[in-house]
């Protein structure tokens, strides 16, 4: 029977899971991880290596703040995809873009976008290897990124065990804080604005962590820390205990935006766009992970029944809400 | 200096070539063919094989006739990409889609699209292995298809030699004729309508031709026969002499749409959407090609100076115009 419910009523995560359930990739022996399973799909390509592939559609209204230059739009379109490659521990080996723009668009605008993509791809050790252009009322860019990884070093979302240490790279909430500043006319330094407008995919960190053998599971924080924790919690059937004091807040956020501790914690947990790596490490391997990557230990993996919560500065334990940056109005 | 000319003034082919020229993929040793070079990008993945990758953005207004069902929209989105994989002689190993639709869209509509994609992918021996969903005013679908091919069997657009025979699979102009029928309220049988609404990527033919070793260059005819001939002519620095009498016109086109020979020839040359394979074969290998694939010999490769023309039924030689189905109003 046809289901005429509007997609907005079931939300992004449920729709993805419903669509993935319809597909038949499970029967293909070359597909190691298929739709809905991880940050990237994974295909067997040789005895030693997997290819990882991801695609992401961005468009003017919801993904590119008006302050973004065309170069930054290009950079962002590549970065969101290359971040997914990073989260599998893979080395990028190509980026493709399909771009739709109106016929009246300046050539220079399109060239600047392409330059931004190429600069981001090159920064990540790869290049723009293909694409498509299309006419479209609203600027729309779909990127596709590819990576290679040794079979023994592939990192996935699955593998967290109770007792593992929870880590993130970089800061949490910086992109969300910068967006808040823009929307409220607050002047902020470039060091913060850049986190929103030109995020750095954590390629080197992802590869180094994969090589270290220390990581039990990994994903990126593009939809926000809370949402990512819940994704890992559901998949691994575990809970998380996060330490509020350990959340890595960029000093500029408390300096320019707010010094209110509750607001800082909410920015760190519930805003997206950071593109940092969130991962778990077996305690005896923490030193190995620390020796290859600047990381912040923010909590531990706990039993499923204990849920996903935060231990506040006053010692109180609160539940973390299942919310973050999602399409379709979750 | 910034170029503020609108993109519509330089056209799709020139813009692609200009953007490709800016990119740096040439310096990456793993990239065998990069942006703008062929139907797919080509990456080295092992001693024996290449991976081919292509991406294509389609959207409601210009790519999906209103008669299309959601299942057909899904099929088409996969088919256009898988056809590019076919034209490299490769075996598909995965399809990804990024879909943008409004929040009010029925779940069933999105499910039917996904089903159409999956059915097309499975028909081609692969599956939908990943994707993204996004909110968007206008229905927009970007597909990405991957394929593997033995290094010795990779077919590219480059390789045509003077004296080679020019061949196509299937019919020319069927999709264009069907679109004309729809736009003019002419009733046509499903055997013709299907050519427009559910094109079949020529995967088996592409792979068989690649394996035969008979083909000197190949591409698909998605932008129309004339445009594809010019693409091959420019790249290979040759001309083409096409035989009007040899153009493979589907009987239903002359039966239901027009029996006027000039119009039939124009449909065959200048309308897109057929997704057939256009390829050249060295004359001594023609039999080898014919033994693995139903093909139509439509002409020969000639010296560059002779241009790209057609020998009409009355013996007259006419130049084929450089036009077809293109975005950006070429």
Domain residue ranges of chain B, discontinuous segments joined by +: 54-152, 155-319
Whether B127 and A24 lie within 8 Å, measured CB to CB: yes
The span from the first CA to the last CA of chain B, in angstroms, equals: 25
**Fold of the B155-319 domain:** Phosphoribosyl-aminoimidazole Synthetase; Chain A, domain 2 (3.90.650)
Closest residue in chain A to residue B2, using alpha carbons only: A108
Whether B127 and A59 lie within 8 Å, measured CB to CB: no
- CB < 8 Å to B45, chain A: 45-46, 49, 51, 148
- CB < 8 Å to A36, chain B: 130
- Per residue in B129-172, pLDDT (tens digit) is 998 988 888 899 999 999 999 999 999 999 999 999 999 999 99
- Tell whether B242 lies on the interface with A, counting CB pairs under 8 A: no
Mean pLDDT by 10 residues, chain B (330 residues): 85 84 74 86 96 94 89 97 97 95 92 96 94 89 97 97 98 95 94 96 98 97 95 97 97 92 93 96 97 97 97 94 63
- Tell whether B14 lies on the interface with A, counting CB pairs under 8 A: no
Whether A108 and B4 lie within 8 Å, measured CB to CB: yes
* Residue of B285, B284, B292, B297 lying closest to B167 (CA atoms): B297
* DSSP secondary structure code for residue A6 in this structure: B
- Tell whether A314 lies on the interface with B, counting CB pairs under 8 A: no
- Binding-site residue ranges of B for Mg(2+): 39, 54-56, 84, 132, 220, 223
* Positions in chain A whose pLDDT score sits under 70: 24-27, 325-330
Closest-CA distance of chain B to residue A171, Å: 26
- Tell whether A110 lies on the interface with B, counting CB pairs under 8 A: yes
CB A226 within 8 Å of CB A320: yes
State the Cα–Cα distance between residues A206 and A85, nearest whole angstrom: 8
Q: What is the pLDDT of residue A330?
A: 38
- CB < 8 Å to B77, chain A: none
State the Cα–Cα distance between residues A161 and B204, nearest whole angstrom: 46
Closest residue in chain A to residue B112, using alpha carbons only: A2
- Tell whether B94 lies on the interface with A, counting CB pairs under 8 A: yes
Whether B106 and A6 lie within 8 Å, measured CB to CB: yes
Q: What is the pLDDT of residue A329?
A: 39
- CB < 8 Å to A15, chain B: 107, 110, 133
Closest-CA distance of chain B to residue A260, Å: 33
Q: What is the pLDDT of residue B26?
A: 60
- The yes or no reply on domain B54-152 and CATH 3.30.1330.10 is yes
* Residue of A263, A264, A259, A232 lying closest to A247 (CA atoms): A264
For chain B, what is the mean pLDDT? 93
SS (H, E, C) B62-114: HHCCCCCCHHHHHHHHHHHHHHHHHCCCCEEEEEEEEEEECCCCEHHHHHHHH
Closest residue in chain B to residue A42, using alpha carbons only: B129
Closest residue in chain B to residue A3, using alpha carbons only: B108
Chosen from B80, B142, B151, B327 to mutate, greatest number of chain A CBs within 10 A: B142
* DSSP secondary structure code for residue A306 in this structure: G
Whether A7 and B106 lie within 8 Å, measured CB to CB: yes
Beta-strand ranges (E) seen in A65-214 are 91-101, 128-135, 140-150, 165-168
Whether B129 and A53 lie within 8 Å, measured CB to CB: yes
Q: What is the pLDDT of residue B328?
A: 44
- Per residue in B79-88, pLDDT (tens digit) is 999 999 999 9
CB A258 within 8 Å of CB A190: no
- The yes or no reply on domain A156-319 and CATH 3.40.50.150 is no
CA contacts within 13 A on the Cβ side of A188: 30
């Amino acid at each position: 029977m046809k289901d005429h419910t509007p997609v907005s009523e079931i939300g992004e995560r449920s729709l993805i899971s419903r669509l993935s359930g319809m597909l038949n990739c499970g029967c293909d022996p070359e597909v190691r991880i298929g739709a809905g399973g991880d940050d990237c799909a994974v295909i067997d390509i040789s005895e030693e290596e997997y290819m990882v592939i991801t695609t992401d559609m961005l468009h003017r209204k919801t993904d590119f703040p008006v302050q973004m230059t065309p170069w930054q739009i290009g950079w962002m379109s590549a970065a969101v995809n290359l971040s997914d490659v990073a989260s599998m521990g893979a080395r990028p080996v190509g980026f493709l873009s399909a771009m739709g723009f109106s016929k009246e668009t300046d050539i220079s605008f399109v060239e600047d976008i392409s330059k931004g993509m190429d600069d981001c791809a090159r920064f990540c050790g790869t290049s723009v290897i293909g694409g498509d252009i299309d006419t479209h009322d609203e600027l729309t860019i779909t990127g596709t990124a590819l990576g290679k990884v040794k079979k023994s070093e592939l990192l996935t979302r699955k593998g967290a065990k109770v007792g593992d240490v929870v880590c993130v790279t970089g800061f949490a909430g910086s992109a969300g804080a910068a967006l808040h500043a823009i929307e409220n006319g607050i002047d902020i330094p470039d060091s913060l604005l850049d986190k929103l407008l030109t995020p750095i995919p954590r390629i080197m960190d992802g590869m180094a962590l994969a090589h270290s053998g220390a990581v039990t599971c990994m994903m990126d924080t593009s939809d926000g820390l809370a949402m990512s924790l819940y994704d890992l919690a559901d998949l691994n059937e575990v809970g998380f205990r996060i330490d509020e004091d350990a959340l890595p807040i960029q000093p500029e956020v408390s300096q320019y935006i707010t010094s209110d501790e509750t607001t800082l914690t909410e920015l760190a947990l519930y805003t997206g766009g950071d593109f940092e790596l969130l991962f778990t490490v077996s305690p005896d391997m923490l030193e190995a992970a620390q020796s290859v990557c600047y990381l912040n230990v923010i909590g531990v993996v706990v039993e499923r029944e204990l849920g996903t919560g935060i231990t506040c500065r006053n010692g109180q334990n609160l539940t973390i809400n299942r919310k973050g940056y999602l399409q379709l109005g979750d």
